[in-house]
Amino acid sequence: METKPKILLVDDEESYRDALKLMLEFNGFDVIEAETGKEAIEKLKEKPDAILLDLILPDLYGLEVLKGITAKTDIPTIILSVKDGKQDIDDALSLGAVDYVIKPNKNDEQLIVKLNHLINKKRQAEREEIITIGNIRIYTGSKIVMVENNRIHLTDYEYKILELLVRNPNKVLGIENIIKEIWGEDYTCEESQVRGYIKKLRDKLEEDAANPKILVTERTRGYILVIPK
């Protein structure tokens, strides 16, 4: 079970901070509090999932704190700003803040949606493994395959076979091995089915499917995924 997402709440106005903390905790977040910029930088070591940062702090200007955050981490930061702080907001966004809310926040639901979206995106990125083979990129978490900058649609079994070969580069895998790994020992799968999936993969991934350079057949032995030199 995933732990509760942690929010670093940076604001020196105690009443506002208390109200926001209560709302966040009610919606399933753990809250780390900081009253000053220096305290905020120090509490980065607690590895929050997202940051709510007021720009008006007693010791450091909020933009300086933001620079410290973006220099040390990739934690998504939402700015807490007053209504007349448009220039500050623009500056903050240019320094790496991902969004902002106007104080006092009148739409709790919208803030919760923003935080959940940012945290889910961050956690998915942390789980995401990217495998590159020549001009092919495979994102194993989201099961996205790109050739050059174009997304390629693969069926479920096409993707499973490709990932199996990718995780065994420059190694011959026999058709029986592929069937065992993908479908299981007790599943009866015709060898022609595997050949059909390989053909479709070549059509989608190879520059010249008739003369494959990546998904190569080792005659009588099986298939090998060749890593380009």
CATH of the domain at 220: 1.10.10.10
Helix, coil or strand: residue 1 = coil
What band does 142 get if pLDDT is binned at 50, 70 and 90? confident
What band does 25 get if pLDDT is binned at 50, 70 and 90? very high
Same-domain check for residues 172 and 116: no
pLDDT at 185 over 70: yes
How far apart are alpha carbons 121 and 209 in whole angstroms? Answer: 35
Same-domain check for residues 83 and 150: no
Q: Residues with Cβ < 8 Å from 201, sequence gap 6 or more?
A: 154, 158, 161, 162, 215
Same-domain check for residues 122 and 10: yes
Whole domain around residue 154: which residue ranges? 130-225
Same-domain check for residues 111 and 139: no
In sequence order, the β-bridge partners of residue 100 are: 79
- How much is the pLDDT for 81? 87
Q: What is the count of structural domains for the chain? A: 2
Domain boundary pick from 127, 150, 172:
127
Domain boundary pick from 57, 92, 127:
127
Same-domain check for residues 143 and 91: no
Mean of per-residue pLDDT scores for the chain: 90
Same-domain check for residues 134 and 112: no
Q: Is 198 within the bounds of a domain?
A: yes
Same-domain check for residues 13 and 118: yes
What band does 115 get if pLDDT is binned at 50, 70 and 90? very high
How far apart are alpha carbons 152 and 138 in whole angstroms? Answer: 10
Mean pLDDT, residues 195-204 = 95
pTM above 0.85, yes or no: no
Domain boundary pick from 111, 127, 143:
127
pLDDT at 126 over 80: no
The pair of three-digit structure tokens given for residue 40, joined into one six-digit string: 């905020």
Q: CA 126 → CA 49, 120, 122, 174, distances in Å?
A: 11, 10, 6, 33
How far apart are alpha carbons 46 and 67 in whole angstroms? Answer: 18
How far apart are alpha carbons 216 and 59 in whole angstroms? Answer: 63
Q: Is 82 within the bounds of a domain?
A: yes
Q: Is 196 within the bounds of a domain?
A: yes
- How much is the pLDDT for 127? 76
Q: Is 30 within the bounds of a domain?
A: yes
Same-domain check for residues 122 and 181: no
Same-domain check for residues 146 and 60: no
Same-domain check for residues 107 and 153: no
Residue-wise pLDDT for 57-94, tens only, equals 999 989 999 999 988 888 999 999 886 678 888 999 99
Q: Is 16 within the bounds of a domain?
A: yes
Same-domain check for residues 115 and 154: no
- How much is the pLDDT for 13? 94
Same-domain check for residues 56 and 147: no
In sequence order, the β-bridge partners of residue 80 are: 54, 101
Residue-wise pLDDT for 84-93, tens only, equals 678 888 999 9
What band does 2 get if pLDDT is binned at 50, 70 and 90? low
Q: Is 1 within the bounds of a domain?
A: no
Q: Is 63 within the bounds of a domain?
A: yes
For position 10, which CATH number holds?
A: 3.40.50.2300
